[in-house]
Amino acid sequence: MCGTPSVVTAPAPGVGSTCAGVRDIGPQVTHVPKLTYGSYLCIDDLLSLQRPRSDPPHHDEMLFIVIHQVYELWFRQLLHEIEAAMRSLDADDLLRAQKHFRRIHTIQRLLEQQVDILETMTPQEFNAFRSRLDPASGFQSAQFREIEFLCGAQKTAYLTFLEPTSDERVRLERRLAAPTLYDVLKALLARRGYATQTSADLVASYKTIYENAEQHYDLYLLLEDFIEFDERFLLWRDRHIRMVERMIGMKPGTGGSLGVAYLEKTLSKKFFPELWAVRTELGNGAAY
């Protein structure tokens, strides 16, 4: 199935030609290659992972499974990028951190847009297989909670929904014990001489940075990366809620919550509240 062989087959001469009489049919494989597209990416394994439960299979259940799996893959990449951004900040390499944030924001935009695909399914189509999902729910996505925990929204109550010895629970407990993205930002600011002890300290420090951007332009841009991350997370939450309301109205969720009424409350979750609070304090600044 999914190995790590190493030989890549070279294309045969003339490959890719568009000359008259030559059909462009891609690389000409002259022997069975050890490493192929399929073996490197474990495509056989990947395609064996979509297992609809409706019987007979409902056409739209495939979309429902695929879209959730795609989200989980992007969650994985987000965790990978956030961890890398944290390492860069620990090393005071703000330029590199900025590069990671650019990718993070691009993925976040995609996560929001992907909801459009799900909305090509109507409520009746969803209802045709919804009962098969009970009691599974995105609420139980361990990677989603890992992102929340890693960024500083650490609600330990979520742990109780996971088996004590499961890998997911172990991963979340590890996240709880580790520094968060916000901790790393505060440590960086402290190294630069800013007060970070209390919420009021942080707002005052952010105000100084925003009002004197020319003196520490790298920090100023970094704060904008942080607020953008937080805003895009909230935009996904909001997009998901509107889609849920369109799909199930005010019905309770398969995960056992009140559904939309529960989800609306999560909109108040901000990873970096002081970065929002400082906006109220800002006046005119120089344009850059």
Question: What are the residues binding ligand HEM (CB under 6 A)?
Answer: 67-68, 71, 118, 126, 137-139, 141, 144, 240, 244, 247-248, 253-257, 259, 262-263, 266
Terminal Cα distance for the chain, rounded: 54
Nearer to ligand HEM, 204 or 248 (CB): 248
224 by Cβ neighbours in 10 Å (0-12 / 13-18 / 19+) ranks as middle
**Cβ-based neighbour number of residue 129 at 10 Å:** 18
| Distance of alpha carbon 120 from the chain centroid | 22
∠ CA 175-181-185, rounded to 5°: 145
**The token pair that represents 34 in the structure block:** 């050890």
Residue of 108, 99, 209 lying closest to 151 (CA atoms): 108
Nearer to ligand HEM, 43 or 128 (CB): 128
How many helical (H) and strand (E) elements, i.e. helices and strands, does the chain have?
13, 0
Report the chain's C-alpha Rg in angstroms.
24
The span from the CA of 203 to the CA of 277, in Å, is: 7
Smallest separation (angstroms) from ligand HEM to the CB of 183: 22
Smallest separation (angstroms) from ligand HEM to the CB of 160: 14
Smallest separation (angstroms) from ligand HEM to the CB of 245: 9
**The token pair that represents 124 in the structure block:** 């009746």
Smallest separation (angstroms) from ligand HEM to the CB of 239: 10
CA neighbours closer than 13 Å in the CB half-sphere of residue 170: 3
Smallest separation (angstroms) from ligand HEM to the CB of 244: 4
Nearer to ligand HEM, 109 or 279 (CB): 109
Contacts of 274 (CB under 8 A, 6+ apart): 199, 202, 203, 206
Smallest separation (angstroms) from ligand HEM to the CB of 17: 43
Nearer to ligand HEM, 216 or 240 (CB): 240
**Angle 142-151/59-90 helices, nearest 10 degrees?**
30
Query: What single letter denotes the amino acid at residue 81?
Result: E
Nearer to ligand HEM, 105 or 240 (CB): 240
Nearer to ligand HEM, 158 or 194 (CB): 158
Nearer to ligand HEM, 36 or 140 (CB): 140
Smallest separation (angstroms) from ligand HEM to the CB of 206: 26
Smallest separation (angstroms) from ligand HEM to the CB of 44: 24
Nearer to ligand HEM, 22 or 73 (CB): 73
